[in-house]
């Protein structure tokens, strides 16, 4: 199983399937939901009341709707995101190649980040902004409502989490394996 999960072909398949899922859900959102500024007159799909719903929003900026022209005013937003996406994918490809093949968990995480980055990149090249539609209200004290996001954003978040947690998971697995070996040795010595 680890051989399959660690294979380059599996990671490419993960990216392709993830991109398909991202683009299909965005197409559905654009065809069935109304933009958030028209929400009182359009369709909002309430999945769990106001806690979890689908509502169309377009994000012309970066994370949390930050604007690239505030950072680099001499570049158009499209060119800025094109350059940023190419750099991100190149860095992720280098990172992927530098990770050992046996570290399949980190490689899956990196593949998920690439998938999410490409999903939002496709939106920016296609319509100049990112299609967001997943709207959650997580109780907190900082924001009135959590920013609207999409499947690509989920891939990036989960991928980063996997990459960060992988060393701890491997450490636990190694410790568990050593414990199992010690138990078997003790069992064999008692016979």
Q: What φ, ψ does residue 135 adopt, rounded to 5°?
A: -120, 115
Average confidence score pLDDT of the chain: 85
Q: How far is CA 124 from CA 35, 152, 159, 178, 189, in A?
A: 17, 13, 21, 49, 64
Can you give the pTM of this predicted structure? Answer: 0.81
Can you give the three-state secondary structure of 115-150, one letter per residue?
A: HHHHHHHHHHHHHCCEEEEEEECCCCCCCCCCCCEC
Which position among 22, 123, 135, 153 bears the catalytic label? 153
Q: How far is CA 32 from CA 24, 29, 53, 134, in A?
A: 12, 5, 13, 13
Which position among 132, 135, 137, 185 bears the catalytic label? 132
Strand arrangement, sheet containing 52-59: 45-48, 52-59, 130-136
Domain ranges (residues) in the chain? 2-190
Matching residue, tokens 């990036």: 156
Tell me whether residue 153 is one of the annotated catalytic residues.
yes
> pLDDT per position in the chain (191 positions), as tens?
778 888 899 999 999 999 999 999 999 999 888 765 555 545 778 888 878 889 898 888 766 556 666 677 778 877 888 888 889 999 999 999 999 988 999 999 999 999 999 999 999 999 989 999 998 887 766 767 778 899 999 999 999 999 999 999 988 888 776 676 656 666 666 66
Tell me whether residue 70 is one of the annotated catalytic residues.
no
């Amino acid at each position: 199983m680890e051989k399959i999960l660690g294979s380059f072909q599996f990671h490419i398949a993960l990216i392709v399937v993830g991109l398909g899922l991202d683009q299909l859900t965005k197409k559905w959102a654009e065809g069935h939901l109304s933009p958030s500024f028209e929400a009182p007159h359009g369709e909002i799909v309430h999945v769990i009341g106001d806690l979890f719903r689908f509502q169309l929003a377009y994000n012309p900026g970066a994370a949390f709707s930050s604007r690239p022209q505030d950072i680099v005013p001499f570049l158009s937003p499209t060119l800025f995101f094109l350059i940023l996406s190419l750099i991100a994918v190149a860095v992720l490809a280098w990172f992927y190649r530098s990770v050992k093949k046996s570290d399949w968990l980190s490689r899956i995480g990196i593949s998920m980040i690439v998938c999410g980055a490409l999903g939002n990149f496709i939106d920016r090249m296609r319509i100049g902004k990112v299609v967001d539609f997943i709207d959650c209200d997580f109780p907190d004290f900082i924001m009135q409502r959590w920013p609207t996001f999409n499947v690509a954003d989920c891939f990036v978040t989960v991928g980063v989490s996997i990459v960060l947690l992988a060393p701890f998971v491997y450490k636990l697995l190694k410790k568990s394996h050593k414990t199992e070996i010690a138990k078997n040795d003790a069992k064999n010595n008692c016979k």
